[in-house]
């Protein structure tokens, strides 16, 4: 029941503006759309021609006793049916093909734009909402394209064509039929009012059903650990019951509407038969004309019902367009340099923070007037308590955000003046948890350089110390790591992430607590791989464990968004300041 699934009262601002904008996006498909409209017009004409052919066959053949006219009318009627079959078949396909090509382009356009947006956008937006834009909203458009668009076109053409045909046959009978229109309009308005309420309840309840279902599945370990299966079942049953009641309310509205339309249609047929039959007996109307009029009457009500059904599909499609255009209208927070400054081939990777102040909210600074120079090939560790601003340093260094004040330069060039290609080739970030894409190990290792040869991949695996582990996998480089790398352990995923950064061959590597979630044995393997990755490269390491800081050339201590100390591990311990205190706390926790 497509009406129930996508119906409802959608709040749509400026619907005609949405339609005009959607049409602009579809300009490349204008030729195909006109061809689809022409086919639909021909299919409608073929269908409308059928009753007229029958009228000729009855009046000039059957009534007159002329078998030749009967045969000719029969042949003409069959020709019309064949023409209607092929034109309708091709028009339905062509309309769907145009719509699907439009949606294909829309999905690509929205996804491309989302991939160009800054990290801040994704921090502000819920992943579920963004996925919904590309799934349920596009699905609403697909429903209209597949089921609604052809109905709108054919229904409008049919209503207009049938009205003209009925008036051409007999004006009096045509006005008799049109007197029933107000009743049909009132019934449709009442139905839409009640149906909209029901479908609004359905959308609300299905959200609760899905939320309860997702929560139960995600927390199944906790549910089973505390033997609360019955409690979860009762909760799911409660929301499912309300969803069931909302669907019943919609079913009651439908059960009232369609029989009402059938009743009005039957009344119309009875009136035409009564008045038309009397006129046939009186000789004012031919019998063939009465038959043709009755056939057109059947054609008249069905399109109006279809338009009522399609109304909610159109509303849902317009609401979906509004949401998708909302994403397309979102401007990236990071400005793109109009004339980028190229990075020299011999760039060494010096990073300089000059009077950098930054806050995720403009009124709440996280970093305050940071001055920091990371020399070429230097490995610094940034440490501090939670909320000190360590991870913010990492995000600014790879330009996930721009500073509110000051600037960050790579080899003397402001990051804002670099092209995105040069920036991403020069800087790589390895997050706390290495994210892997579904697919083979090779595809994940070569993510930054898709064309890299297997021989070079194996050399990198050897230098990173993971070649033996890769050879132990069932299909070596062709091993499927599955979604989010679920086939591998957290340590193995992190090793792959480090090797992937090695393949990218950046001048600067930023590690955001890359070893914080690992056990000691795995951490030792990752640290060994890190030594190979960071050799002769500039590195900014956000350190959660102070063992990581001990390997750095210099330690930067953050507190309250400011640099409060810096120096080597031994110098800072000897100074007895903030770092020494952090070290004591860390040793105490690990000795417990």
Distance of CA 344 to the CA centre of its chain: 39
Quote the pLDDT of residue 481: 75
The DSSP H or E segment spanning 48 is: helix 30-56
| Summary mean pLDDT of the chain | 79
Q: Which option is the CATH number for 2-328: 1.20.1560.10, 3.40.50.970, 1.10.357.10, 3.30.70.260?
A: 1.20.1560.10
Residue 123 has pLDDT above 80, yes or no: no
Radius of gyration, CA atoms only, the chain: 35
Quote the pLDDT of residue 403: 87
Neighbouring C-alpha atoms within 13 Å toward the C-beta of 579: 27
Quote the pLDDT of residue 11: 53
Residue 262 has pLDDT above 50, yes or no: yes
Q: Which residues contact 397 (CB under 8 A, 6 or more apart)?
A: 351, 408, 427, 508, 510, 540
Q: How far apart are CA 158 and CA 173, in angstroms?
A: 18
Q: How far apart are CA 461 and CA 468, in angstroms?
A: 8
Which residues in the chain are classed under CATH 3.40.50.300? 351-591
Annotation: CATH topology of 351-591: Rossmann fold (3.40.50)
Q: How far apart are CA 172 and CA 179, in angstroms?
A: 11
Quote the pLDDT of residue 213: 76
Quote the pLDDT of residue 75: 92
Better pLDDT: 450 or 173: 173
Which tokens is 34 given?
């006109």
Q: How far apart are CA 10 and CA 76, in angstroms?
A: 47
Which tokens is 73 given?
């009318």
Which tokens is 490 given?
């957290």
- Are 335 and 329 in contact by the 8 Å Cβ rule? The answer is no
- Are 495 and 559 in contact by the 8 Å Cβ rule? The answer is no
- Report the range of poorest mean pLDDT among 364-368, 438-442, 557-561, 588-592: 588-592
Q: How far apart are CA 324 and CA 114, in angstroms?
A: 11
Quote the pLDDT of residue 520: 60
Quote the pLDDT of residue 93: 85
Quote the pLDDT of residue 5: 46
Which residues in the chain are classed under CATH 1.20.1560.10? 2-328
Residue 74 has pLDDT above 80, yes or no: yes
Percent of the chain with pLDDT over 90: 1
- Are 382 and 556 in contact by the 8 Å Cβ rule? The answer is yes
- Are 510 and 397 in contact by the 8 Å Cβ rule? The answer is yes
Quote the pLDDT of residue 8: 43
Residue 2 has pLDDT above 50, yes or no: no
Give the model confidence (pLDDT) of 339-361 as tens digits: 778 777 667 888 888 888 988 88
User: What's the whole-number mean pLDDT along residues 35-50?
Assistant: 86
Q: How far apart are CA 185 and CA 264, in angstroms?
A: 11
The alpha carbon dihedral of 228, 483, 427, 120 has a sign of negative
- Are 498 and 464 in contact by the 8 Å Cβ rule? The answer is yes
Closest CA to 290 of 274, 266, 301: 274
User: What's the whole-number mean pLDDT along residues 555-573?
Assistant: 85
Tell me the pLDDT band of 9, cut-offs 50, 70 and 90.
very low
Residue 116 has pLDDT above 50, yes or no: yes
Q: How far apart are CA 217 and CA 239, in angstroms?
A: 16
Q: Which residues contact 405 (CB under 8 A, 6 or more apart)?
A: 355, 356, 357, 358, 369
Burial 534-558 (b: 16+ CB within 10 A, else e): beebbbbbbbbbbbbbebbebbbbb
Quote the pLDDT of residue 147: 66
- Are 486 and 433 in contact by the 8 Å Cβ rule? The answer is no
Neighbouring C-alpha atoms within 13 Å toward the C-beta of 13: 4
| Residue 384 three-state SS | strand
Tell me the pLDDT band of 127, cut-offs 50, 70 and 90.
low
Better pLDDT: 117 or 199: 117
């Amino acid at each position: 029941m497509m009406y129930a699934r996508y119906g409802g009262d959608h709040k749509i601002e400026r619907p005609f503006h949405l339609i005009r904008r959607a049409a602009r996006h579809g300009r490349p498909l204008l030729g195909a759309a006109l061809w689809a409209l022409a086919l639909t017009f021909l299919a409608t004409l073929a269908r409308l021609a059928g009753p007229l052919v029958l009228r000729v066959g009855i009046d000039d053949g059957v009534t007159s006793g002329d078998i030749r006219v009967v045969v000719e009318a029969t042949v003409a009627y069959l020709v019309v049916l064949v023409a209607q079959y092929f034109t309708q078949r091709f028009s339905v396909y062509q309309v769907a093909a145009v719509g699907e090509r439009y949606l294909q382009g829309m999905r690509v356009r929205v996804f491309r734009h989302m991939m160009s947006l800054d990290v801040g956008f994704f921090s502000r937006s819920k992943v579920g909402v963004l996925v919904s834009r590309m799934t349920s909203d596009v699905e609403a458009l697909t429903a209209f394209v597949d089921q609604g668009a052809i109905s709108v076109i054919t229904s409008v053409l049919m209503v207009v064509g049938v009205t003209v045909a009925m008036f051409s046959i007999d004006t009096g009978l045509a006005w008799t039929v049109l007197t029933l229109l107000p009743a049909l309009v009132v019934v449709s308005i009442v139905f839409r009012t009640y149906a909209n309420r029901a479908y609004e309840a359905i959308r609300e309840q299905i959200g609760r059903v899905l939320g309860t279902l997702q929560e139960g599945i995600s927390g199944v370990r906790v549910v089973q650990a505390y033997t609360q299966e019955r409690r979860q079942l009762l909760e799911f049953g409660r929301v499912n019951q309300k969803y069931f009641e909302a669907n019943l309310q919609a079913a009651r509205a439908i059960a009232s509407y369609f029989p009402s339309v059938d009743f009005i249609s039957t009344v119309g047929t009875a009136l035409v038969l009564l008045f038309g039959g009397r006129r046939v007996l009186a000789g004012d109307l031919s019998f063939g004309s009465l038959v043709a009029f009755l056939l057109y009457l059947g054609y008249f009500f069905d399109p109006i019902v279809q338009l009522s059904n399609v109304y909610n599909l159109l509303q849902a499609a317009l609401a979906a367009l509004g949401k998708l255009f909302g994403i397309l209208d979102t401007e990236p927070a990071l400005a793109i340099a109009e004339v980028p400054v190229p990075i020299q081939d011999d760039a060494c990777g010096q990073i300089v923070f000059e009077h950098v102040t930054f806050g995720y909210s403009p009124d709440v600074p996280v970093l305050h007037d940071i001055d920091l120079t990371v020399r070429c090939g230097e490995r610094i560790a940034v440490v501090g308590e939670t909320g000190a601003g360590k991870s913010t340093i990492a995000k600014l260094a790879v330009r996930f955000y721009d500073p509110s004040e000051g600037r960050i330069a790579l080899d003397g060039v402001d990051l804002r003046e670099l092209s995105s290609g040069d920036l991403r080739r020069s800087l790589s970030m390895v997050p706390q948890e290495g994210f892997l894409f579904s697919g083979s190990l090779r595809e994940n290792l070569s993510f930054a350089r898709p064309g890299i040869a297997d021989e070079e991949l194996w050399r990198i695996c050897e230098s990173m110390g993971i070649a033996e582990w890769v050879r132990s996998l069932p299909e070596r480089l062709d091993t499927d790591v599955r979604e989010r790398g679920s086939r591998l352990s957290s340590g193995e995923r992190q090793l792959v992430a480090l090797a992937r950064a090695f393949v990218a061959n950046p001048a600067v590597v930023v590690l955001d607590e890359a070893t914080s979630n690992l056990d000691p044995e795995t951490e030792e393997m990752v640290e060994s791989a890190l030594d190979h990755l960071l050799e002769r490269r500039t590195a900014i390491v956000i350190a959660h464990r102070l063992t990581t800081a001990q390997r750095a050339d210099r330690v930067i201590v953050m507190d309250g968004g400011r640099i409060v100390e810096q120096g080597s591990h031994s110098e800072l311990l000897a100074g007895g300041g903030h770092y020494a205190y952090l070290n004591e706390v860390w040793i105490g926790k690990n000795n417990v």
